[in-house]
């Protein structure tokens, strides 16, 4: 029993995905997600050029040892590219282990700790009416928890806010394809230069925190009024605030009983969360851009967050994310795993199996993938009554249709850039 070959698949059914397929000498295959939004090809090179050649011939059942080998041996530890590559291999090996056992992966991780996973959807609207319409659509589908993002008067397009097409499905994609925007003007900031090459730049948005801080509490008030006290309401600040602004927002949302406030400040400067805690009991969630247990050390030991936002894809796979959750459990901190569409269906399944098994599960983000994506990745997880379940298929329960995948070539796509009105590059 050994790793016979490893293929790195790049496909773009609606958006870009990087998927590893490990094949054993006995012909068992496992899939892993290594998608890093806007930096996909860096992970592909890391895998093809530096990881795959070192793993051929190894015993595929040595999951922990292979994880430590990939993490420690290159000397250069951590970082999003490295840890997405480690994640892809790790998931594929767990997928193989569970397929060999003939069991869904959660049974190898300790078995089900619950009957299903409380799940939240993304609702947004440029106006409060549009937002309420979007929320109603999710409530009608059975969701018990909804992330609410709203337009801000005086600002144009802001990240994560889109109205559903009339009568249509809300399909929000975090990264815009560069091709689709040819004709985009030069960057608005001081480094703009000439228009040449502008079509290869990400799109740009304008931001003003004061306007947002004034508006958001009125949005929460209107939504609570419309939907009552029981619906869980979440909000993503997307790293845009300075510490004192974050404290102000967390405090001003308290009367509306938010389930959490996510990424209220950029995650690197962790001590600032003390200030937010000092002023508010609004629960805090952070971590979608983190990639290892070490990124969480201060946040967890000082109890500065309530929810871990990592995904298996960006935090070293099931092995890496399980380490973080075991550490978090000691401090009563729960999971809120990242589940946007740039986590592939393979990565989503990894989140679900781990979430079902761990004791300190909190909530799972769920942005359903498009039909195009799901025609390439066939999933066995299921949604009912606001809850997700990974399903009972052996392994992760996801299949990659390679023939279908080959029909969707990689297309450059980037997350947007955020600037203040005067052109200053801002966090987002
Ligand atoms: O910006 O997935 O909570 N979800 C988010 C996402 C992330 C993207 C980054 O690739 O903030 O929309
Ligand atoms: Co987020």
For residue 228, give both structure tokens. 């009552």
- pLDDT score for 183: 40
- pLDDT score for 160: 85
Distance 102 CA to ligand 2 centre (A): 35
Distance 119 CA to ligand 1 centre (A): 16
Instruction: Give percent above pLDDT 90 in the chain.
Output: 89
The CA distances from residue 385 to 259, 328, 339, 347, 380, in Å, are 19, 28, 18, 22, 17
User: Tens digit of pLDDT for each residue in 288-336?
Assistant: 999 999 999 999 999 999 999 999 999 999 999 999 999 999 999 999 9
Q: From the CA of 340, which ligand is nearest?
A: 1
For residue 189, give both structure tokens. 């900031």
Q: If we measure between CA atoms, which residue out of 38, 36, 78, 417 comes closest to residue 238?
A: 417
Residue to mutate (ligand 1; options 176, 342, 418; most atoms within 8 A of CB): 342
Are residues 70 and 317 in contact, defined by beta-carbon separation less than 8 angstroms?
A: no
Q: Of all atoms in ligand 1, which is nearest to the CA of residue 160? A: 12
Of all protein residues, the one whose alpha carbon is nearest to atom 8 of ligand 1 is 174
- pLDDT score for 186: 45
What span, in angstroms and rounded, lies between the C-alpha atoms of 205 and 121?
24
Residue 185 pLDDT grade (very low, low, confident, very high; cuts 50, 70, 90): very low
Place of tokens 């790793």: 3
- pLDDT score for 110: 98
Rg (CA), the chain: 21
Q: From the CA of 37, which ligand is nearest?
A: 1
Q: Which residues surround ligand 2, an ion (CB under 5 A)?
A: 236, 288
Distance 104 CA to ligand 1 centre (A): 28
Of all protein residues, the one whose alpha carbon is nearest to atom 5 of ligand 1 is 340
Are residues 163 and 125 in contact, defined by beta-carbon separation less than 8 angstroms?
A: yes
Burial class (CB in 10 A: 0-12, 13-18, 19+), 384: exposed
Mean pLDDT of 146-158: 94
User: Tens digit of pLDDT for each residue in 71-87?
Assistant: 999 999 999 999 999 99
Q: At what angle do helices 128-140 and 209-227 cross, to 10 degrees?
A: 50
Q: Of all atoms in ligand 1, which is nearest to the CA of residue 343? A: 2
User: Tens digit of pLDDT for each residue in 195-249?
Assistant: 554 567 899 999 999 999 999 999 999 999 999 999 999 999 999 999 999 999 9
Q: From the CA of 263, which ligand is nearest?
A: 2
Residue 238, by phi and psi: left (phi above 0), alpha (psi -120 to 50) or beta? left
The CA distances from residue 67 to 179, 248, 320, 397, in Å, are 37, 41, 8, 22
Lowest mean pLDDT among 157-161, 291-295, 351-355, 411-415: 157-161
For residue 66, give both structure tokens. 């292979």
Of all protein residues, the one whose alpha carbon is nearest to atom 12 of ligand 1 is 174
Q: Write b or e for each residue in 10-42: b if 16 or more Cβ atoms lie within 10 A of its Cβ, otherwise e.
A: bbbbbbbbbbbbbbbeeebbbbbbbbbbbbbeb
Query: What does the domain layout of the chain look like in residue ranges?
Result: 117-171+206-393
Of all protein residues, the one whose alpha carbon is nearest to atom 4 of ligand 1 is 340
Burial class (CB in 10 A: 0-12, 13-18, 19+), 168: exposed
What span, in angstroms and rounded, lies between the C-alpha atoms of 321 and 318?
5
Q: Of all atoms in ligand 1, which is nearest to the CA of residue 238? A: 11
Query: Has residue 163 got a pLDDT over 50?
Result: yes
**Secondary structure of residue 43 in the 3-state scheme:** helix
Distance 1 CA to ligand 1 centre (A): 39
- pLDDT score for 301: 98
- pLDDT score for 182: 44
Q: Of all atoms in ligand 1, which is nearest to the CA of residue 147? A: 3
CATH of domain 117-171+206-393: 3.20.20.120
Of all protein residues, the one whose alpha carbon is nearest to atom 10 of ligand 1 is 37
Of all protein residues, the one whose alpha carbon is nearest to atom 1 of ligand 1 is 174
For residue 380, give both structure tokens. 């066995």
Q: Which of 106, 159, 296, 307 is catalytic?
A: 159
Query: Has residue 50 got a pLDDT over 80?
Result: yes
Mean pLDDT of 269-290: 97
What span, in angstroms and rounded, lies between the C-alpha atoms of 135 and 362?
21
Q: From the CA of 286, which ligand is nearest?
A: 2
Write out residues with Cβ below 6 Å of ligand 1: 37, 160, 174, 236, 238, 288, 340, 342, 415
Are residues 9 and 400 in contact, defined by beta-carbon separation less than 8 angstroms?
A: yes
Of residues 171 and 97, more confidence is placed in 97
Are residues 223 and 161 in contact, defined by beta-carbon separation less than 8 angstroms?
A: no
Look up 408 and say whether it is catalytic. Answer: no
Of all protein residues, the one whose alpha carbon is nearest to atom 6 of ligand 1 is 340
Residue to mutate (ligand 1; options 338, 365, 366; most atoms within 8 A of CB): 338
Distance 73 CA to ligand 2 centre (A): 31
Mean pLDDT of 30-37: 98
Q: Which of 122, 162, 235, 238 is catalytic?
A: 238
Distance 315 CA to ligand 2 centre (A): 15
Look up 239 and say whether it is catalytic. Answer: no
Average pLDDT, whole number, for the chain? 94
Mean pLDDT of 365-373: 97
């Amino acid at each position: 029993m050994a790793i016979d070959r490893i293929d790195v698949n790049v496909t773009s059914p609606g958006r870009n995905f990087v998927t590893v397929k490990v094949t054993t000498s006995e012909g068992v295959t496992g899939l892993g997600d290594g998608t890093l939004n806007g930096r996909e090809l860096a992970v592909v090179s890391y895998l093809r050029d530096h990881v795959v050649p070192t793993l051929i011939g190894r015993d595929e059942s040595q999951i922990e040892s292979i994880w430590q080998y990939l993490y420690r041996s290159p000397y250069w530890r951590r970082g999003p590219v490295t840890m997405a590559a480690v994640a892809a291999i790790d998931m594929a090996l767990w997928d193989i282990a569970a397929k060999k056992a003939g069991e869904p992966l959660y049974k190898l991780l300790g078995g089900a700790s619950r009957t299903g996973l409380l799940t939240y959807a993304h609702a947004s609207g440029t106006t409060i009416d549009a937002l309420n319409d979007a929320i109603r659509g999710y409530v009608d589908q059975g969701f018990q928890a909804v992330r609410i993002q709203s337009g801000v008067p005086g600002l144009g397009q802001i990240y994560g806010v889109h109205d559903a097409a009339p009568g249509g499905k809300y399909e929000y994609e975090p990264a815009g394809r560069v091709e689709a925007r040819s004709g985009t003007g030069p960057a608005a900031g001081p480094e703009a230069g000439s228009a040449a090459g502008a079509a290869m730049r990400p799109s740009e948005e304008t931001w003003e925190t004061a306007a947002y801080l004034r508006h958001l509490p009125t949005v929460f008030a209107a939504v609570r009024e419309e939907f009552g006290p029981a619906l869980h309401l979440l909000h993503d600040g997307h790293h845009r605030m300075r510490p004192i602004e974050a404290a102000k927002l967390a405090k001003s949302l308290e009367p509306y009983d938010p389930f959490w406030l996510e990424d209220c400040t950029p995650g690197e400067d962790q001590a600032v969360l003390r200030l937010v805690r000092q002023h508010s009991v609004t629960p805090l969630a952070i971590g979608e851009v983190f990639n290892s247990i070490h990124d969480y050390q201060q946040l967890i030991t000082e109890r500065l967050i309530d929810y871990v936002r990592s995904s298996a894809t960006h935090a070293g796979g099931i092995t890496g994310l399980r380490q973080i959750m075991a550490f978090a459990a000691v401090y009563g901190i729960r999971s809120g795993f990242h589940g946007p569409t740039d986590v592939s269906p393979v990565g989503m399944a990894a989140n679900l199996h781990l979430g079902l098994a761990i004791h300190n599960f909190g909530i799972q983000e769920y942005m359903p993938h498009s039909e195009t994506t799901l025609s390439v990745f066939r999933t066995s997880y299921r949604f009912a009554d606001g809850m997700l379940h990974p399903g009972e298929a052996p392994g992760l329960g996801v299949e990659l249709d390679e023939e279908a995948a080959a029909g969707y070539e990689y297309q450059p796509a980037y997350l947007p850039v955020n600037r203040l009105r005067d052109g200053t590059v801002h966090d987002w």
